[in-house]
Amino acid sequence: MTRVPVALLRRASDLLLNHLESVAGESVVVDADFFWSIGPEQTFDAFVEPSSFTVGQLSECLEHLERIVDDPSRATSFALVWLSDLLRGAGQAVIR
């Protein structure tokens, strides 16, 4: 089990988003929209090869987050998954 301090996530997010903005500007162009996604029950079982995959869509994740920003009462824990998908896409786009 790994305990993840929310304060550390907040601080690291702020620092890394500032870095991203200095490298890429106000927005990042991610060439791909669709990506492979592994269900949560298989994602964190590193000793068993995943057997089922789904397809995620960055533009859909972005739409979900835009709705949450427009109406914060729509915030859910699952929105962190959409955010992480977008962060992964942005991070991989700028390190290439």
CA dist list (Å): 16 to 22, 24, 44, 67 = 10, 12, 24, 23
Look at residue 32 and tell me whether its pLDDT is greater than 90.
Answer: yes
Asked whether the beta carbons of 91 and 25 are under 8 A apart, the reply is no
In this predicted structure, what is the pLDDT of residue 41? 87
Structure token digits, residue 17: 């988003």
Q: For the packed helices 79-94 and 58-70, what is the interaxial angle rounded to 10 degrees?
A: 120
Whole-prediction pTM: 0.92
Band of pLDDT at residue 40, cut at 50, 70 and 90: confident
pLDDT at residue 96 is higher than 80 = no
